[in-house]
Amino acid sequence: MPHNVRAVVRAAVGALAACLVVGGLVACSPTVESVEVEPAPPDVGIQLFQLPWTAIADECETTLGPNGFAWVLTSPPNEHIVRDEWWASYQPVSHAIDSRLGSREEFADMVERCDGAGVAVIADAVVNHMTGQDTPGTGWAGSAYEHYEYPGLYTDADFHHCGLTADDDIQDYTSREQVQTCELVNLADLDTASPSVQATITAYLEDLLALGVAGFRIDAAKHMAADDVAAIVAPLPAGTRIMSEVIRGGGEPITPEEYVGFGEVFEFTYARDLTPPLQNGVFNDPELDGDRPLHVPSDSALVFVDNHDTERGEARVTYRDAAMYIIANALMLADDYGTPVVYSGYAFSDRDAGAPTDSDGRVTPVSCALETDVPADDYDDGARTCVQTWPAVAGMLEFRAFAGDAPRLEGVDAGDAYGFEREGRGVVAVNVGSETQRIEIPTSLPSGKYCDVVSGGRDAVVDDGCRGETYTVSDGTVRIDLAPQTAVAIHIGGRL
Tell me if 328 sits within 8 A of 348, measured CB to CB.
Answer: no
CA distance 365 to 54: 7
- Specify the long-range contacts of residues 255-261, CB closer than 8 Å, at least 24 apart: 256/296, 257/296, 258/226, 259/221, 259/226, 259/229, 260/296, 260/297, 260/300, 261/226, 261/230
3-state secondary structure of 480: strand
Residue 128 CB, shortest distance to Ca ion, in Å, is 5
Tell me if 119 sits within 8 A of 60, measured CB to CB.
Answer: yes
79 tagged catalytic: no
Among 249, 382, 404, 433, binds ligand ARE (CB under 6 A): 249
245 tagged catalytic: yes
Q: What is the amino acid identity at position 372?
A: T
Instruction: Say whether residue 168 binds Ca ion (CB under 5 A).
Output: no
Q: Which position's Cβ is nearest ligand ARE?
A: 132
Among 245, 306, 421, 469, binds ligand ARE (CB under 6 A): 245
Among 132, 277, 365, 419, binds ligand ARE (CB under 6 A): 132
Considering only residues 176 through 195, tell me which ones interact with ligand ARE, judged by CB under 6 A: 184-187
Instruction: Say whether residue 137 binds ligand ARE (CB under 6 A).
Output: no
Nearer to ligand ARE, 61 or 252 (CB): 252
Considering only residues 366 through 405, tell me which ones interact with ligand ARE, judged by CB under 6 A: none
DSSP codes joined into one string, 332-353: HHH-SSSEEEEEE-B--SSTTP
CA distance 442 to 494: 18
Question: DSSP strand E in 58-178: where?
Answer: 71-73, 78-80, 92-97, 120-125, 137-138, 144-145
Stretch that binds ligand ARE, among 38-46, 83-91, 370-378, 392-400 (CB under 6 A): 83-91
Among 90, 107, 270, 343, binds ligand ARE (CB under 6 A): 90
Instruction: Say whether residue 204 binds ligand ARE (CB under 6 A).
Output: no
Among 222, 223, 241, 408, binds Ca ion (CB under 5 A): 223
Among 106, 189, 219, 336, binds ligand ARE (CB under 6 A): 219
Residue 178 CB, shortest distance to Ca ion, in Å, is 10
Residue 269 CB, shortest distance to ligand ARE, in Å, is 12
Q: Which position's Cβ is nearest Ca ion?
A: 223
Distances (CA, A) of 5 to 165, 358, 462, 466: 71, 44, 9, 13
Site string for Ca ion, 122-141 (x = CB under 5 A): ------x-------------
CA distance 179 to 402: 43
Instruction: Say whether residue 304 binds ligand ARE (CB under 6 A).
Output: no
- Pairing mode, if any, of strands 120-125 and 92-97? unpaired
Nearer to ligand ARE, 184 or 453 (CB): 184
Stretch that binds Ca ion, among 120-128, 259-267, 355-363, 439-447 (CB under 5 A): 120-128
